[in-house]
Every structure is written in structure tokens, then in C-alpha cells.
Structure 1
Amino acid sequence: MQGHPTMPAGPDSGYVARRTQTGAKTDTPLIEIPQTINIITADQIRNQGAQTLGEALRYSAGVAPETYGAASQFDSYVQLRGFKADLFLDGMRLPDGSASTDWATAVVEPYGLERVEILRGPSGALYGQSSPGGIVNMVSKRPTATPLREVQIQTGSFSRLQGAFDFGGPVDPGGQVLYRFTGLVRQSQTQVDFMHDDRLFLAPALTFRPSEATTLTVLGQYLRDRNGRTSFNYLPTSGTLFPNPVNGRLPFNRYAGEPGFDRFDRDQAMIGYALDHRFNDAVSFSQGVRFTETDVYLRALNRNGELLPDNRTLNRAAFRIDATARTLTVDNRLVARFDTGALRHTALIGLDYRNEQTTYNVGRGLAPPIDIFNPTYGLAVADPGINFQTKSASLRQLGLYAQDQIKLGNWVATLSGRYDWTSVAARTTTVATQARSTVHNDSGAFTGRAGLSYVFDNGLAPYVSYSTSFQPTAETDFFGQVFRPLTSRQYEAGIKYQPAGVNASFKAAVFDIRQQNTLTADADPSHPFARVQLGEVSVRGFDAEARMSLGQGWGLIASYAYLDHKVTRSSVAAEIGRRLAATPVHQASLWADYTVQSGGLAGLTVGAGLRYVGNTTDPSNTVAIPPHLLVDASLHYDLGNASPRLAGARLSVTAKNLFDTYYVSQCGNVPGCTLGSRRTVLATLTYRW
């Protein structure tokens, strides 16, 4: 039996993946997982030209990425089945600021990924505290046993200039030491005036194989963003969501801040390893360790309320935020494969640990108003410093989990259970008065998953499952009171189909999710950035996805999701029955591409896609955001088909929102909206040898 790596080590060819490590923490066929799981392959990321995690997720059923629009430097806010998803890298949770603030949430560069796996529904039984909507697990590029050499240059909309490289292969003649070094540097403006998208990304990796039974891979990352301006580009509803009665609509590029004052810097570093050891053909051990450090500095002007009665003047306020996160994660897994009579077992036992320390320091100050329809920049704004609030928090979690995947003929039963011990603490200081408040909460919780599948010989697999999760937090409300842990459960029934002899996969599922103690934004405008806790939220729905990489050069991805979501219990009677903010009821997408197989255009790939997002609402359910339909397109050509001297060269052109459709991505409690991404055209030249 071959050893089982911590994650699938290489990319899948085409759009269809058949195995997963995310769904069970063991190397398992997708069709046997009793939950919906979707995999975005490296080919899909490349062919669609995804530049962010949000762009990579655009064609997945029931996923709502890019909620805060094109102006946001936070690519990490992703909704699954109506809830904010938790992000994992190589099976371990990324810092998300859950101890105090999401400003220090980690981000991931897609060029450094092999695949993205989406596990839908509560997954606490394997991953500890996690969202009821599910998790998004990204898989890093790993060292390769065969030489890999790739360089890339990209240009296009908004004066973009980007270079990237990806090198890998054996270090020694015997192949006992392998390496991978991936990097990217970008200098670019954006669709918003004065905002930049400058990035440096470096990811070295080394694999040591002292024996056939043991593999140790050391993984590092450094990411630096210098965006020059802020993500606080909320614009008034009058002029975005609704045409201004006097001045019409605001353009995509309108900036509400002050270029001479605003600033956003992010520095992020990761170092860790993945150890795999096979004791014999039946028993193997894996350990993953990672330390992550994230620092964010933000100085920005934000709109303060709606437009004044003259229909053009917007009040603003100055903000200063310093946020940090230091996180250590460890995950140990022991897998044993054995039989008891007619039953075949894949048994897993694991112990994981997470220690996240965060700080969140805030300053507030005055700022001059702006004529948002005819702005004049260059006004003096004083840095408020950290004059409002400082907060430090810690979250420690220790989890012991076990799972047994049991096969009897065509039946597959999956039984998972976990107990977590958590300790959360936070200390908040009001700068002006030096008043301090301290909260501390120790808790424990059991979460589980039970699923049953029947895999027919023709590739059809119906299943049912029940799963739970919980989310402790040291976050407090505006008055310093700690929130209760969030708990959730899901019932799911679905069917998967992988027809024999065809490179295709079909999935459909119905589900019912309930979450208690849900957090949402505080509707009181005098409580900026604060949140409150509701009673219960219900999300019921259906999602389906089809993926095909067919013969004769065709590829297809299709998805649809329906969500019936609402607040079912609350201490505030007016909130009962409200829909969840920024959560569409209907969502659908379709992507198809074709590669010419012969003739003078052999090697030319033409692709096109449609993305539909239904109507959404704001947290108070007083503002309706209309639906939008966007069109994407792509062209790829392997230049080696034109001349043997160009073998290994590939030219790609991708267009997103091809018809430059104007749309609003979301609106907040205090009237203000963010605009979606306008047309972006990028040309990429890649050379491999």
C-alpha cells in the first residue's frame, strides 16, 4: 500500500477531481464522502484567470465570494450556504481574528495553490470550531519529483504589470531532496481611483525523503501587500443602488477617501512542515505544524451617514486601525486500515491544537466632508493615532477526534466524533478613560458527524448525513460583554454520480441548517465595527454542480443553488423573519470551453461563462440589492502549435465582467454600499521548459 500524504500532492488534470483529503482527513474517493464537497482544480484556476480566492470560487454552487466588492483588500470573506466560511490551508485553519478582530485575517495567493476544496455544512467533528456553512481548504504547491520550470508575465487593465515564477524538482541525483520555489510580484492600479494592488509573494518549500516510508516537507510563505489606499470605499446608496435625483450614478472609479491620508499595509509570514510516516501497509502517521504571523496597518476616511440634503455632500470620519495575529496550529493524525469479518475499516484518531493571539487597536478622528460627485482631494487630515480603544485577545483550542469509515459491500458508513476544550480571553481598554474590561471563558463541546452512502457499481451514490459544529469566541459586544459560543447542526441528503468511462462528476443535495447565537453587525451607528448576537438562524436549500472534462476538447462547469434563509428566533421581535444580509436566494453559473483539436487553430482554447447572483438585502432588510448577471470569456493558445521553436509557451487573454455591467455587491447597516468588479482584461504569457 502506498503512503498517504497530508494532502493530495499534485493538481488534477481538467475540471474533475475524484479523491479528497479534506472530506475525511484520509485519502478518500469523493463519491464516498457523505457531505457535499467541491474541488476547484489548478486547471480551472489557470483557465479562468483567477487572481484572488474570490475569483477562483465564482463558479461553485452556493458560494458567495467578493461580498465587499472590488474595493476590498480582504479576499477572505466567503459565504457558504449563507454563513461566513472558515479558511484552511493544507488542512489547518488560517488566522481569522476570531479572538478579537477579522482585520488580521490571513490571505492566500492563488498562484501558490494546486487546488481549492470546499466542504459544505458543519464540519466540527474533524476541524473543531468551524462555520455551519462549511470550510474552504486550499492546498499549497509542493516540491516535485520531476523538474518544473515556469516563468510568467502579465499585463492588462488598470496598468497591471505582474511577473511570476514556479521552479521545482530534485536537488540530489537520488531524488531524496526535492524543492519548489514559487513567487510573484505585482504593481497595479485598480478600478477605484488612487487605490493600488501591489503585492510580493514568495513561497519556498523543501521535501526530504530519507526512506520510502518517511516524507518531511517544509513549507514557507511571505506575502506583502502595499495597496496605498484603503478598503473603506463605501459609497452612498443615493448614486449607487439608486440613481441620485440630481446627479445620476457614481462611476466605478469614484473614491470616497483622501489619497494623502489613506494607507493600507499588510505583512504576512508562514512557516511549517508536513510529516508523513508509514509504519506498515496498514498504519500511517501524519503531522502538520504551522506558525502564521499577520500585521495590518490601516489609516482611512470612511463615509459617515448618507448624503446631505444637497444630494452631493458626504460627511466623513477618520479611522486608524493596527491589528496583528500570531497563530500556532498543530494537527496529528494516526490512520489504521483493517478488517473485522466482512467489514473494512479506515480508522482515524487525531489530536490538534491552536493558539491564536491577536491585538486590535483603533483610533477615530474628524475629517472634512467631500463632494462625492465632484470630489476635490488634497485636504489636510490629522492622524488620530490610537485614541479610541485597544484590545488584546487569545484563543486556545485542544481537540481530540476519531473517525471510522466502514465498508460492507457497496455500503459506506462514516462515523466521526470530537471533543474540544477551548479557552478564550480578551482585555479591552478605552483609551480616553483608561477603563479596562476583561472577559474569560473556558468551555468544552462535543461535535459529530454520521453519514451513510451506497455506491452503486454504475457510479451512482445516494447518501444521508447529520453533522454539528460550534464556534467559541472572545469577541465582545460594544459594552464589553462576551458572546456565547455559536452552535449549529445540519441534516443533508444528496446524490453523487461519477459515470464509468466518462471524466465527469455530478452532485446534488438538499439540506437544513440551524445556527444558534448568530453574530451580526450592530445596527446602532454610534457603535462602529461592533456586533450583536441573535437567537437562531435557519437556512434550508438545494445545491447542485456538474463538472465535465470530455473528449474532443470540451470542458464544462455548471452550478445552481437555492437558499431559504431567515432569522427564526431573536430577543428583538422585529428581527424574526429577516433574511440574512448579502445572501442570495438564487445563484447559478455556467462555464464552458473548447480546445481546437486539429487544423491551423489546433491548441486554441475558447471559453465563456455566465454568473448570476439573485437579489440580496442589507442586515436590517430595509434595502433591496437587485440581482446581476455577468459574462466572462477567455482565449488560450499554445504557441508551440504555431512553431516548434515556441514549444512550452502559452498566451492567455481573460475578460471578467465582459460587458462592464454596473452592480452593487452589498449594502451595510449605516447607509452605504460597495460596487462590484468592473470589466477586467488581462493578457498572460507563460513559458515552461
Structure 2
Amino acid sequence: MNMKRFAKSGSWMSGRSARLLGCTALVVLQPFAVLAQDSAASTDGGTVLDRITIRGSGGGDDDSRSIVAGQTTGAGKMPTAILDTPASVSVITAKEIQQRNASTIEEVLRYTAGVSTDFYGSDDRFDYFKIRGFDAYTYRDGLVIGRPFGGIREEAYAYERVEVLKGASSTAFGVSDPGGSVNYVSKKPKSERFGEAYVTGGSHSRAETGIDFGDNITEDDTLSYRLTGKLRKSDAEYDYSRDDERFFMGGLTWRPSDATSLTFIYDHLHKDGVPGGGGHPIGTDFDRSRFFGEPDYNYRGTNRNSFSVMLDHDFGTGLTLGSTARYSKTNSDFGYAYIASTPTNGSTIANRSFFGNDSAVESFVMDAHLQYDASFDTIDSRTLVGIEYNRTRIDNRAFFGAAPGINWLNPVYTGRPASVPLYQSQKTDQDTKAIYAQQDLTFSDKLIASVSLRNDWLDTEQTNRLSGVRAQGDVSELTSRFGVTYRWTEEFATYASYAQSVVPSSLTVEPERGEQYEVGVKYQPLAFPALFTAAVYDLTKNNITRTDPVTNLQSAIGEVRVRGVDLEAKAEIDENWSLTAAYSYLSSEIVENGTQGNEGNELAFVPHHTASLWATYALPGDGRRGDMTFSVGGRYSSSYYFNDANTLSTDGHIVFDAAVTYDLAENTSLEVNVSNVFDEKHLDYGGFGADFYNPGRTIMATLRQTW
């Protein structure tokens, strides 16, 4: 491991001019704050690396004060400099989340290369995003949550950072699709006093208040706490909507010595909302506020309680132990009346359907790993071995039935139905066990070779409560990842990698497997904190489950391919200018479909081009007025298809955002954020009975006090 990289000064020269705004690919890497202890020599002639005490959620990064990040665990369990990671990694810090006033995960990710969001428009049931054309599995503190589609909408204020690993990553955290994965990093106590409180008001009758503060309980930093909370009372942009939330998180960290840290976190999330207005009739152009669902039936409720424990211990001989465990219990319900089809015979009566779902999920997941760091002559070694266990119990009921039609020219609501037919009632028990290993070798501070292996055993039992039929399935899958980074100078590195992914499809079908080849370059100038990155990749997913037209059974007969380029930047050019920029090109192809003859077509919801830029200028105060910051952003997406048959599509579009902050007094600021400044309107999703528009313009004002 290159210890020089961890010892750089925290100050940066600011001699670069604003012309650097024109540079293409970027991500910022700040130096790391570390504290070295005495080293010890091993008996076999190798040298044990110095003990390093890492502060902060990002391994030394201060995510609350900078939009840039230096380290990540998104590519594995070992904190690693982004420059030295043989993969594309994006980190969205707490400051960037606040700067853009991002309150949903879709909003957090919308300025990230390779990520597409909001492709279901005003349908707000879940977090909708894809990475490199595929659904992305999500994790929290390295422990699996699952697919966003069908899950709950996460609270962005709970997280210090959001790490996006692009490409296959099953060796890091387990099951995942080949496009990439997202790791949420929880806010934890710090060994210092800090805090903020805010109130927000704005569009859609939004009223919100939040707190996030902490301090040491003991004078010697042995015990620290953190409290984070948020209350919101709000509507959404459509009639009869609701977007209320209560969130609370408390953390306690105990540091009995410099070598040991134990953290407990409890969080409670309660949401009471309306998942959407039911869509708009195809071909119409009503205001976004028009509601074609049922006011008494459209609802979405979430109640989740989670307990997390995190332990880190340094044995002082190059050997460290890390372990994280989480227990969570989630209850959610959902009811949706929506437009199922738009007539084409001149009638203005749209057909509707009722759909509902009740679920209870209880899970316990635990990870424990040992890491050994050593140095032998010109070779630095990092070795990681670990185990993981996940036990999940799911009770799920689904309802579906016809709903009365609605005249879109004169809507008359019929009220909540007495009942909706139950069509599925299922209990799922899943036990997952895994072992994994990673070996990193650095030769002469230049060449870094990384090898990862992981084997997952998934035992699943499903019980159909309606028929009484019980089915079982056992899956054992080995995945690998190989990467090489060559650091030509302290500022410039190139890398190449190969990685595999695996996702179970059903109890009776082989898992869906993916693999990706990627090469890239990263440039980290020493003159100011920035990291410029570019990546080219080729990924394939096969064994995709389709219904075999011959046997009429589910079979692993599908295959798709995505090739592309990602360019990204996060930079704090000087004390006045900062920016985030991203561009992606994706070319997707259905290689084998097996059912509908779509071979050669493009994947749905995969645009060829996406680009974004968020730039911030800070204007210092002059005594008569306080400091001011001005931010503008733009998000572009080319057209994409709604279906694999490539018969329905949306047009390309660009959306602009803006923000202004004014310091009213020391530690007191007024922030105004505008999303979709020009209220640009387009279809994010449509053609299947109804159309769904993109979110409209919202204006929010926030008064924030920090200490």
C-alpha cells in the first residue's frame, strides 16, 4: 500500500483559473487524514505496515464540507483511494446532496455518469434508476438492501455519502446486476461537536424541518453521539396527493482505545404518501396536477425500524477486524388506481385498474472480515478474507382487479372499492451464506494488482398460501474480479478490469449472470483537488429468464449486451469555483430474446447519450453583505425506447436546475433551490395505457443554522 498517498497535506494550491471548467472527465480526490502509530517487524522478514486510525465516514473525507471524496469502499470491503481502484466509482457526498437539495435517491443520483433516473416520471412508488442500462442492487454500509424496484424509497438525509460502483460487483457485496450497484453510507457519530437545524418551505405546500447534530459525551472522545431527524408535511404535484414523512436516527460510538471503535445506530422511517395520479390518457396534454386515480384508494405507506452495529479493531500487527450487522423490520402497503388503457374509438372514457400490495419484511444480515497489511521490500500487500450471512423473511400479498372507467374531460371519482381480488399470497424464507477474499499487491508504488473471489450459497423456500404449494431452491455461485492499475505518476493512472455478477431469477431457473471488461484512465492534479476519469466498457448479461415459446416454461435463454463510455468530474478548482460534470454514451443490444423476436433491438430505458453539469460560484461578502453562492445545472438525455420491441419512445430533452445561497449571519444561511427551472415537460414513460410526465418545476427555500 502506498503510504505516501495517505500522508499528503490537506492544503491545495489554487493557481488554476476557471478555464478548467471546459475539461471533460472528472472526480475529485482529497487527501486523507491519518494518524500513524509505531510499526513492528514481522518474524519472516516482512514489514508490518504502520497502524492507521481513520476518521470520518469516507476514510478521512469530510463529506459534510466537500463535494469531493478521496476514498471508497464501493469496490470492496477495504477502504481504497479512488485513484487506485480499478473501476469507475462515483461518490455523492452530504454537501453535494445539500447543495442540490436532493431529498430522494433519484435526485441524489441524477448528476452521475452512467446513471439514468426518473424513467417512470410521476409514478412515485419506488426509487427508479439504472446503471449502465441495468437495474442496480442497493446496499447500506456494505450490507444488502435489494432492488429499488419493489422496495421502499430511501431517505437521503440519513446518509453521509452515496457510493456508486459501475460494473459487475458481486465479489464485493453479493448478488447484483452487471451494470453496477449503490452503497449508502450511514451518518455516524464524530469525535467533535457539530450540528445543523433547518426549516424548508416551498412548492406543493411543503413544510419540513430537520436536525443533525452530535458531540462527545466524555472529554477524552471515548463516547460520542449523533442525532438526525426530519419531519415533512407536504403534497406532491398532482391533486389529492400526499408526501408526509417522519424520520429519526440515533447513533452512539464507543472508542475504548485508539485501536477499537464500536458504533450502534437505530433509525425509524415512516412515510405516508400517494404513489401517483394514475397516469394521463395517451395523446392528451393535461396539466401534471390532473388526477385520474381514486383519492380514497391511492396510497403508499412505509414503516421501517433498523438496528445496526459496526465494530472495527486494529490488533496493531497489520491485522484488523471489521464487522457490521443490521436487523430491520419493514411493513409497507400500497394501493393504486390507474389508467390501464386509453380508447382509440373516440371515447373519452379511460379504462382503469386497481392494484394493491401489503408486505412485511424481516431481515438480519451480518458481515465480518479480517484484513492483513504488510510490506515486503518493494511490494505492499493487503489481504482480506470474510464471511457474510443474511436471513430474510417476506410475507407478501398482492391484489388486482378492474376499476370503474373515468371520463378524462369530466372526472368523477367512484370511491374506495369494497374489496380488490387477492391474486397472490406468498411467504418467502431465504438464507444466504457467503465467503469472500481479496488480495491487493502494489509493486514499487506503481503497479497495483487486485484479485477478488466470492462464493454465495442461497437457500430459498417459497410457500404459496393460496394453493398450499411449497417450493425450494438452492443456488451456489462463484464470482471473480480481476483488476490492474498502473500509476504512471503521482497524478496519472490507468487501469483494466474484468468482473462477474450473478442474480438469482427464480427457484427453478438458473441464475442470471453477467460479465464486464473495462479500461480507464484517472488523472488527479496536485495543484487543486480534482480527479478526471474516463472509462470504456463492454458488458454482457446472459441466462436472462424468458418464457420458452416451445415449452411455455420459464427458461434461461436471454442475452443482452451494453457497450459504452463514461466521463465524470467533481472538482473544487479554487475557493470560488466548483463543479460536477458527467457524460455517458451507451449502445445496447438484445442478442437473444427467445420469445418475441426482438433480437438486434435496443434495451428499453437506455438512452444513447446522457450528460450533466452542475457549476457553483462563491462570491465572498464585503462586510455589508454576507457570502453568496450561485449554482446552475443542466441534465440532458437523448431519446430512449419504452419497450424492447422498440415501437414506443420518448424524445430527447434537457432540464435546468439552479440554487442560490446567502449567508444572513455567521453560521446562518438562506438557500433557494429550483428544480426544472423552465418547467420543461416531456414523457418519461408511456404508451402502455397511459403516459407519465417528468417532474415539473419546484421551488424550495431553506433557512439553515449550523454550529
Hey, what does 1:238 align to over in structure 2? 283
Hey, what does 2:429 align to over in structure 1? 394
Hey, what does 1:366 align to over in structure 2? 402
Asked if 2 retains the 8 angstrom alpha-carbon contact of 1:469 and 1:489, the reply is yes
CA distance in 1, matches of 2:206, 2:115: 28
Change (3 A) 1:539 1:187: same
CA distance in 2, matches of 1:265, 1:688: 32
Give 1:5 shift. Answer: 7.2
SS of alignment partner, residue 68 of structure 1: coil
Asked if 2 retains the 8 angstrom alpha-carbon contact of 1:196 and 1:226, the reply is yes
CA distance in 2, matches of 1:346, 1:569: 41
Hey, what does 1:479 align to over in structure 2? none
Asked if 1 retains the 8 angstrom alpha-carbon contact of 2:122 and 2:277, the reply is no
TM alignment of 1:49-448, pairs within 5 A? 49-75=101-127, 77-96=128-147, 102-103=149-150, 105-227=151-273, 229-231=274-276, 233-239=278-284, 249-307=285-343, 309-377=345-413, 379-385=414-420, 387-409=422-444, 410-429=446-465, 434-448=466-480
CA distance in 1, matches of 2:516, 2:585: 16
Asked if 1 retains the 8 angstrom alpha-carbon contact of 2:152 and 2:302, the reply is no
Change (3 A) 1:575 1:60: same
Change (3 A) 1:37 1:177: same
Asked if 2 retains the 8 angstrom alpha-carbon contact of 1:238 and 1:307, the reply is no
Match of 2:701 among 673, 683, 686: 683
CA distance in 1, matches of 2:555, 2:231: 40
CA distance in 2, matches of 1:332, 1:232: 45
Asked if 2 retains the 8 angstrom alpha-carbon contact of 1:6 and 1:274, the reply is no
Hey, what does 1:610 align to over in structure 2? 634
SS of alignment partner, residue 3 of structure 1: strand
Render the CA deviation track for 1:630-666: whole Å, top value 9, x for unaligned: 00000011222xxxxxx21111000000000111112
Hey, what does 2:684 align to over in structure 1? 665
CA distance in 2, matches of 1:376, 1:74: 28
CA distance in 2, matches of 1:317, 1:354: 37
Asked if 2 retains the 8 angstrom alpha-carbon contact of 1:411 and 1:454, the reply is yes
Q: Gapped runs of 5+ residues in structure 2? A: 1-50
Q: Gapped runs of 5+ residues in structure 1? A: 240-248, 476-481, 641-646
Give 1:328 shift. Answer: 1.3
Hey, what does 1:643 align to over in structure 2? none
Which residue identity does 1:53 align to in structure 2? I
TM-score by length of structure 2 reads: 0.88
Match of 2:574 among 551, 557, 572: 551
Give 1:169 shift. Answer: 0.7
TM alignment of 1:430-509, pairs within 5 A? 434-474=466-506, 482-509=508-535
CA distance in 2, matches of 1:31, 1:44: 20
CA distance in 1, matches of 2:108, 2:141: 17
Change (3 A) 1:427 1:158: same
Give 1:364 shift. Answer: 2.5
CA distance in 2, matches of 1:328, 1:464: 36
CA distance in 2, matches of 1:473, 1:206: 39
Hey, what does 2:53 align to over in structure 1? 3
SS of alignment partner, residue 535 of structure 1: strand
Give 1:462 shift. Answer: 0.7
Paired residues, what number? 650
Moved over 6 A (4+): 530-533
Give 1:366 shift. Answer: 3.3
Render the CA deviation track for 1:151-187: whole Å, top value 9, x for unaligned: 1100000000001011201112332111001000000
Which residue identity does 1:626 align to in structure 2? D
SS of alignment partner, residue 204 of structure 2: helix
CA distance in 2, matches of 1:232, 1:442: 41
- Bigger mean CA deviation after superposition, 438-447 or 678-687: 438-447
Which residue identity does 2:641 align to in structure 1? T
Asked if 2 retains the 8 angstrom alpha-carbon contact of 1:95 and 1:356, the reply is no
Change (3 A) 1:586 1:523: farther
Asked if 2 retains the 8 angstrom alpha-carbon contact of 1:252 and 1:678, the reply is yes
CA distance in 1, matches of 2:79, 2:219: 30
Give 1:531 shift. Answer: 9.7
Give 1:602 shift. Answer: 5.0
Asked if 1 retains the 8 angstrom alpha-carbon contact of 2:524 and 2:532, the reply is yes
Asked if 1 retains the 8 angstrom alpha-carbon contact of 2:439 and 2:452, the reply is yes
Hey, what does 1:22 align to over in structure 2? 74
Q: Find out whether 1:566 has 2:566 as its counterpart.
A: no
Render the CA deviation track for 1:215-248: whole Å, top value 9, x for unaligned: 1100111111111x33472333322xxxxxxxxx
CA distance in 2, matches of 1:453, 1:302: 51
Which residue identity does 2:280 align to in structure 1? L
Give 1:609 shift. Answer: 0.5
Render the CA deviation track for 1:10-37: whole Å, top value 9, x for unaligned: 6334322111122231121111100100
TM-score by length of structure 1 reads: 0.90
CA distance in 2, matches of 1:234, 1:330: 41
Which residue identity does 1:313 align to in structure 2? I
Change (3 A) 1:23 1:259: same
- Bigger mean CA deviation after superposition, 127-136 or 7-16: 7-16
SS of alignment partner, residue 316 of structure 1: strand
Which residue identity does 1:438 align to in structure 2? R
Asked if 2 retains the 8 angstrom alpha-carbon contact of 1:163 and 1:186, the reply is yes
Give 1:400 shift. Answer: 0.6
Match of 2:539 among 481, 494, 513: 513
TM alignment of 1:41-52, pairs within 5 A? 41-52=93-104
Give 1:196 shift. Answer: 0.9
CA distance in 2, matches of 1:552, 1:148: 22
CA distance in 2, matches of 1:172, 1:16: 31
CA distance in 1, matches of 2:492, 2:664: 40
RMSD: 2.2
SS of alignment partner, residue 56 of structure 1: helix
CA distance in 2, matches of 1:592, 1:549: 10
Asked if 1 retains the 8 angstrom alpha-carbon contact of 2:58 and 2:70, the reply is no
Hey, what does 2:652 align to over in structure 1? 627
- Bigger mean CA deviation after superposition, 630-639 or 361-370: 361-370
Which residue identity does 1:50 align to in structure 2? A
Give 1:544 shift. Answer: 0.4
SS of alignment partner, residue 98 of structure 2: helix
Give 1:672 shift. Answer: 2.6
CA distance in 1, matches of 2:226, 2:160: 13
- Bigger mean CA deviation after superposition, 545-554 or 297-306: 297-306
CA distance in 2, matches of 1:658, 1:448: 45
CA distance in 2, matches of 1:636, 1:533: 53
Which residue identity does 1:318 align to in structure 2? F
Identical residues among aligned pairs (%): 30
